[in-house]
Structure 1
Amino acid sequence: MTELLAAGLITALIAGLLGGGHCIGMCGGIVSALSFALPPSRRHPARIAALMLSYNIGRISSYILAGLLVGGLGQLLVGQIQPITTLLGWLATIMLVLMAFYIGQWWTGLTRVEALGKHLWRYLEPLGRRLMPVSHPGQALLIGLIWGWLPCGLVYSMLLLALSSGSSFNGGLLMLAFGLGTLPTLLVTGSLARQLTSLLRQPLWRQLSALLLLGFAIWQALPLLGLK
């Protein structure tokens, strides 16, 4: 594993962890639906945990698939136009900076990027609705596979990182790292979920998260500047 890939994996993992507040905003509704879809008599912690785990396996699987696709596209582009490697690296770095500004609430223009995926989502979202209410892990897995394509600026930022990774395998690996980073936020339920949501939406947490993301963006830019 190259140093650049290792840095990318760490960046993707941390971005997933720090973007927890954004993840709750994007996927909180479906997570709540999974938690309360079962009748009270069947709403046991183990059953709910199985639904949540299945949903997240499906969601992360979609991230990995997207990473494999864009990583392969990046590999193809690099093979045809060598200087594009640096360009893709800068694009990924810029997207990280924009995500930091978005999380810190310093600039919310990144939401316009999410509009790029709304055309596809218009066709996918009804498919997910048809699977509701969820009664078993298989349904939750399918919903996760669909919800993984929900338009999201944070996911798009990571896909640009995957695009610049140099190969399909590396792109999938980066999106796996990002997906694992989002897991702690989206696996919790009940009162713990409300407490975590409240914490992640605190201005202080937002500012610290944004500053850390900026730090990772600078770290990623160092090799592009020939300083590492």
Structure 2
Amino acid sequence: MIAGALVALLGSVLNHALDSFALVLRILAAVMLILMALYIANWWKGLLRIEALGRVLWRRIEPIGRRLMPVVKVPQAFALGSLWGWMPCGLIYSMLAWSLAVAEPLRAAAMMGAFGLGTLPAVLATGVAARRVSIWIRSPATRTLAALLIITFAVWQLWHLQSMIGMEDTHSAMTSPHH
């Protein structure tokens, strides 16, 4: 959530500096969601290249996380969770791209929190009832359904952006001094 808020703050600063930057960020975020969906469905593994870039940062953060283990106190769990937001993971980076585009720190923190809760079953599946839940999560049908839902959301976002662009073009044409 902290990572989402920080990235959104950066997006906010960039949006104020560059007028069209918000639109570019939103398009980038929707494309990242589509790439994430392709990755989830095992249709394309290109996000692995983006994860490789994050490993440079993770090499510096991961030793701090190791010192926090084993987790025995709530503040320790909170600190470790804050570090995990930076691990090399295409899914996390897709959500951080979305946070950058949102450019609203509180909203981005809420999105990252929802993402964390959404991934909680998979994380818990590694330790609790791993066999049954992981079989369901790894099922091609489950992964395909998840990917199609994410792609649907991303396309809906792109459609919404396209209609916003159309409205801006109409508005600028109507307010142009040539009319």
Cross-structure match for 2:46:
109
Is 2:96 aligned against 1:147?
Answer: no
CA distance in 1, matches of 2:42, 2:2: 30
Instruction: Output one character per residue of 1:83-137: Cα deviation in whole Å (capped at 9) or x when no partner.
Output: 11110110001001101111111110111001121111112222222334x2623
CA distance in 2, matches of 1:128, 1:195: 29
- More displaced stretch, 195-204 vs 177-186: 177-186
Cross-structure match for 2:61:
124
- The structure 1 residue matched to 2:103, chosen from 153, 161, 166, is 166
CA distance in 1, matches of 2:14, 2:65: 34
Provide the aligned length of Structure 1 versus Structure 2: 164
- Letter of the aligned partner of 2:73 in structure 1? P
| Structure of greater relative contact order (alpha carbons < 8 Å, 6+ residues apart) | 1
User: Could you say if the C-alpha distance between residues 72 and 144 of structure 1 is closer, same or farther in structure 2, counting changes exceeding 3 Å?
Assistant: closer
Contact 1:114 1:152 (C-alpha < 8 Å) held by counterparts? yes
Any runs of at least 4 consecutive aligned residues in structure 1 with deviations exceeding 6 A, and if so which?
none
Q: TM-score, normalised by structure 2?
A: 0.82
- More displaced stretch, 183-192 vs 121-130: 183-192
CA distance in 1, matches of 2:51, 2:29: 16
Cross-structure match for 1:203:
140
Cross-structure match for 2:10:
73
User: Could you say if the C-alpha distance between residues 91 and 189 of structure 1 is closer, same or farther in structure 2, counting changes exceeding 3 Å?
Assistant: closer
| 1:1-228 to 2 correspondences below 5 Å | 64-132=1-69, 134=70, 136-138=72-74, 139-188=76-125, 190=127, 192-226=129-163
User: Could you say if the C-alpha distance between residues 189 and 81 of structure 1 is closer, same or farther in structure 2, counting changes exceeding 3 Å?
Assistant: closer
CA distance in 2, matches of 1:164, 1:118: 23
Q: Which has the larger radius of gyration?
A: 2
Fraction of identical pairs, as percent: 47
User: Could you say if the C-alpha distance between residues 106 and 190 of structure 1 is closer, same or farther in structure 2, counting changes exceeding 3 Å?
Assistant: closer
Instruction: Output one character per residue of 1:136-161: Cα deviation in whole Å (capped at 9) or x when no partner.
Output: 23444443333332111001101111
The unaligned stretches of length 5 or more in structure 1 are 1-63
- Letter of the aligned partner of 1:77 in structure 2? L
The unaligned stretches of length 5 or more in structure 2 are 168-179
Q: TM-score, normalised by structure 1?
A: 0.65
Aligned alpha-carbon RMSD (Å): 2.1
